[in-house]
Structure 1
Amino acid sequence: MRAIVIALAFAAGMISTSLAQTWPTHPIRLVVNFPPGGAADLLARLIGQSLGETLGQPVVIENKGGANGNLGGEAVARSAPDGYSLLMSSGSMVAINPHLYASMPFDPAKDLIPVASVARVPFYLVVRAENPVQDFKAFIADLRANPGKRNFGSPGIGSSPHLAAELLKKMTGTDAVHVPYRGAAPALNDLLAGQLDFLFDPGIAIEHVKAGKLRAIAIGSAQRSPQLPDVPTLAELGLAGFDADAIFGVYAPAGTPRDIVARLNTEINRALATVALKERIMVVGNIPAAMSPDEFGERAREDSKRFGAIIRERGITAGNN
C-alpha cells in the first residue's frame, strides 16, 4: 500500500512538472475584483503586460467588481486550478472581508493561494483644492467643529481606505459620514465633483494633487511617499503607529500546480525589479513590493489580525456604513 501511495505522489509530481514546462499554451485571464480605474486595475494592466511579454501568451484583464471584491475573488476561486485564471486583488478581500461578512460564498484563505505581491499601496488623505482646510491641524479642527456633518468616500464598506478613515476617527475622537462606492475611481470622481469632503486615496489622485485640483494633507503610512515627499505621515502628525498600507497582489485557485505558482512568482518579481515597471508603478502612487508566496501569505495573515481588531472595535459589518 505504501508503495502505491509513493508511486501516486511521484506521478502527481511528474504531471505538475510536465504541466509547468508546457504552460502556458493559450491566453491567461487576470481577473480584477474592482472596477476599472482603481489601483488594482492599474496594477493588473502593468503586470499583465509584462507577464504577457515574458510568458509568450496574452494576459487578458477582466474587471469583475462587486461585494467589496468578493465577486471577482469567487470567480477565480471557482476556476480550474490550471494557471489560466488568476486574480489581482487588494489585500482587503483576503484579510478583511472574512471579518465583515457573516458568511462568504468561498473561503479566501482556503480557496485561493498567494502567488506574488505586486505593490504596497499607501493611502493619501486628500481634500479638494478649494477646501479652506490647509493642513492636518485645520482638518481635524474642522471635523471637531462639525461632528457628523462632513463625509468621506471609500471603495466599499470595510475596504482598506474605509478602515484608514475609521482609524483616523478613533484616534482623533472625530466623526464623519462614510459613503461607500464600488471602487476607488468612482469615489475620487465624486470628491473632484464636490460631493465628498475627503477620502483616503490609493494613489490614483496623485495626478490631481500635482495638477492643483486636490490637496494631500497627510499619508496613512509608516513612511513618507517618494511621490509626495513633502506630505507628512499621520504618525509624524501625532497619530503614533498609524499604518493603513495595503498589499496588492496576484492570487490563484487553490490546487494550482506549485511549479506554475513558482514560475509566476519569479516572472512577476523579475518584472518588479526592472526600472521601467518600477517607475510606472511609482507614478500611480504605489511602491513595488516583491515577495515570495509564503511572505505574501504571512503579510495577509498579519493584516487580518490588525484590521480585524479595528472592525470588531468599530462594529463594522457589510450591512452598514
Structure 2
Amino acid sequence: MQRITARSEALFLPRRRLLQGGAAMVAGLGALAARAPAIAQGQPRNDGFPLRPITLTVPFPPGGGVDTIARAVSERMGRILGTTIIVDNKPGGSTSLAAAQVSRAAPDGYSLFIATPASSINPVFQPDLPPGDTRKAFTPIGAVARLPYVLVTGPGLPAEDVAGLIAWSKANPGALNLGNSGAATAPRFAAELLAFQAGLKLVTVPYKGGAAEMLDITSGRLHGAFAQMIEVLPMLENGARALAVSSPQRSPRLPDVPALAETLPGFDVTSWNGLFAPPGTPAPVVARLNAALNEAVADPDLRRRFAEEGVEFVGGRPEDLAQRLDSEIAKWTRLRESANLRLD
C-alpha cells in the first residue's frame, strides 16, 4: 500500500480544493437552473431589481403633454435603474384601457402606469369602468408632476376678470359656454366646479382636439375653456385673455394671472400625474422605483425644460400619492352629490 507522507499530502491539497470548488460551482448552477423558470415566468424578484426592461403604459397617443412628461421622466429613471423603460401608448376608454391592462399585470415592478385626473374622476362618475377604484387597483409609486389649467376666454365674452365672468353669466343665465376635451376630463369638471361654487348655469361643450377648441375661442364662437398652459400661451398673443389659473396658488409662469381660489376660496383643480404599479407589488421594488423617480424629477435640466409650460415636478413618498388620490376622489364625490351631477 502506498504510504502518504506529509509532503505528498501537501501536493494533493490544491487538487482537492479544486475538485471541491468545482462541485460547489455545479451545485450553484443547478440552483440557478431551478430558479430560471420562475424568472422566465415573470415572478417577483426583489434582489437585483430590475433585471430586464420595464414598460410604462401611457393612456394617451404619442406627442401629447402626458406622453412627453412620461418619456422625459422614464428616460432618466431608466438611466438611474440601469435598464430601459419602454413607453407603451394605449389610448381609449377615458384612460381605462391602459389602466385595466396594467392593473392586471404581474406585480413584479416591470409594468407601470402613469395616471392623470381621470384616475380620480372615473371611479366617481363611471364606477363600472375597469379597473374600478384606483385605490384598490394599483400600488402607488410616487407623484410625477402637476400643472394648473388656465381659464382662458376670447372676444366672445365681455369680461376682463373672473368677477366679470360671474357677473355676466348671472345676468345671462345658461348663456356661458365653456369647452373641454371630453365628458370625463378634469377641464370639464373644473368648469362644473366653477359653476357650482359661483352659482352659475353654463353649457359644457366637448371637443375631440385642443386645436379646434382654441380656434373657436380666439374666433369668438366659444366663450372659453380650462386649458393646458402650453395651449394657452400662443392664444394670449392672438387676443385671448387668461382670467385665472385653477391651482390654489398663482403659477410662476403667469405671475400676474390670479388663482381662481382668490375669488372662489377652496377652488383647486390641477392636472396631475402619478406613477402606479399593479396591486401586490413587493415593498422593496416599490422603494427602488420610488427612489429612482425622486432622483429623476429632481434633475435641474428636466425642471428647466418644462418650466415654460408651467409644469412642476413633485416626487415624494408613495403615501403622498395615495393621499392625493384620496383627496381627489373625495372632492369629485362631493361635487357629484352636491350638484347632483352626472355624466352626459
TM-score range, shorter chain: 0.7 to 0.9
Q: Indicate the SS of the match to 2:94.
A: helix
| d(CA) in 1 for partners of 2:213, 2:56 | 28
Distance 1:41 1:314, change over 3 A: farther
Q: Does 1:202 align with 2:231?
A: no
Q: Indicate the SS of the match to 2:68.
A: helix
* Correspondence list, 1:120-139, <5 A: 120-128=146-154, 132-139=158-165
RMSD: 2.5
Q: CA deviation at 1:80?
A: 2.2
Moved more, 255-264 or 204-213: 204-213
* Correspondence list, 1:1-321, <5 A: 16-18=45-47, 21-26=48-53, 28-93=54-119, 95-107=120-132, 108-128=134-154, 132-181=158-207, 186-194=209-217, 196-209=222-235, 211-212=237-238, 214-236=240-262, 238-318=263-343, 320=344
CA contact (8 A) 1:282 1:288 kept: no
Query: Partner amino acid for 2:283?
Result: R
Identity value in percent: 35
TM-score between both structures, scaled by the size of structure 1: 0.83
TM-score between both structures, scaled by the size of structure 2: 0.78
Query: Partner amino acid for 2:247?
Result: S
| d(CA) in 2 for partners of 1:210, 1:57 | 42
| d(CA) in 2 for partners of 1:228, 1:270 | 27
Q: What whole-Å deviation, never above 9, does each CA across 1:94-125 have from its counterpart, x for those lacking one? A: x2211111413323222211111011221211
| d(CA) in 2 for partners of 1:144, 1:249 | 37
Partner residue, 2:22: none
Higher alpha-carbon Rg:
2
Unaligned 5+ runs, structure 1 = 1-14
Distance 1:105 1:44, change over 3 A: same
Q: Indicate the SS of the match to 1:53.
A: helix
Query: Partner amino acid for 2:193?
Result: L
Q: What whole-Å deviation, never above 9, does each CA across 1:112-153 have from its counterpart, x for those lacking one? A: 111110112212111236765332233233323433333222
Moved more, 257-266 or 51-60: 51-60
Query: Partner amino acid for 1:231?
Result: V
CA contact (8 A) 2:207 2:213 kept: no
CA contact (8 A) 1:119 1:290 kept: yes
| d(CA) in 2 for partners of 1:96, 1:138 | 29
Query: Partner amino acid for 2:287?
Result: A
| d(CA) in 1 for partners of 2:334, 2:51 | 41
Query: Partner amino acid for 2:126?
Result: Y
Q: Indicate the SS of the match to 2:174.
A: coil
Query: Partner amino acid for 1:192?
Result: L
The number of residues matched between the two structures is 298
Distance 1:54 1:109, change over 3 A: same
Distance 1:249 1:139, change over 3 A: same
Q: What whole-Å deviation, never above 9, does each CA across 1:144-194 have from its counterpart, x for those lacking one? A: 343333322223324222221111111222222112346xxx135422244
Unaligned 5+ runs, structure 2 = 1-43
Moved more, 239-248 or 192-201: 192-201
| d(CA) in 2 for partners of 1:35, 1:180 | 18
Q: What whole-Å deviation, never above 9, does each CA across 1:7-30 have from its counterpart, x for those lacking one? A: xxxxxxxx6422xx141423x221
Q: Indicate the SS of the match to 2:230.
A: coil
Moved more, 120-129 or 217-226: 120-129
Query: Partner amino acid for 1:175?
Result: K
Query: Partner amino acid for 2:215?
Result: L
Q: CA deviation at 1:210?
A: 5.5
Q: Indicate the SS of the match to 1:240.
A: coil
| d(CA) in 2 for partners of 1:97, 1:300 | 12
Moved more, 109-118 or 309-318: 309-318
| d(CA) in 2 for partners of 1:132, 1:43 | 36
